[in-house]
Amino acid sequence: MTEQEFVTKATDLTKQIVNAVADKEYTKLASLAQIDSSWVEEGQTQEEAFVSFGEWLDGQLAMWEEDEERSFVVDHFDESCLEEIVLEEDNTSFATYNLTNAGEELDFWFELKYRIENNEHIIVTLNVNI
């Protein structure tokens, strides 16, 4: 896989992840990425961990809505919110995605670790930095 192919595929995966979050399709995330082990409780599947993550995220947004008396959602993918993806020599990459609400950056962002498996498949591990 060339670096350009990697960047294109990794960007598309990131777009799917962000859009699934924006659409609150948390169980769909398990088919797109792995969640960082810090979000997984003992005995949980990836799908269950993503649902727990979604519950946490919905709770954060609801808390801000109550505090600021306005709506909070996660916007759909905007490429300008994605840090440049660069393929390293070890076939990995790390990037951040700044989540937004109505174009305004939220107080947390996604950390995305990408790695190539079998020279064609990209595995993404998602974490949230608060």
pTM for this entry: 0.95
pLDDT tens figures, 25-65: 999 999 999 999 999 999 999 999 999 999 999 999 999 99
Q: Is the dihedral of CA 64, 14, 110, 125 positive or negative?
A: positive
Q: What are phi and psi of 73, to 5 degrees?
A: -140, 170
Q: Is the pLDDT of residue 85 over 80?
A: yes
Q: Round to whole Å and give the CA distance between 19 and 84.
A: 19
CB atoms under 10 Å from CB of 124, counted, come to 22
Average pLDDT, stretch 115-129? 92
- Residue 118: band (very low, low, confident or very high) from pLDDT cuts 50, 70, 90: confident
Rounded to whole angstroms, the Cα distance separating 78 from 97 reads 9
> Is a pLDDT exceeding 80 seen at residue 4?
yes
Helix/strand/coil for 57: helix
Contact indicator for 82, 110 with CB cutoff of 8 Å: no
pLDDT band, very low/low/confident/very high, at 99 (cuts 50, 70, 90): very high
**pLDDT mean over 91-113:** 96
Please, which pLDDT band fits residue 74 given cuts at 50, 70 and 90? very high
- DSSP letters for 83-102: PPP---TTSEEEEEEEEEET
> Considering the chain, what is the average pLDDT of its residues?
96
CA distance 81 to 65: 22
- Is pLDDT above 90 for 119? no
Q: How confident is the model at residue 130 (pLDDT cuts 50, 70, 90)?
A: confident
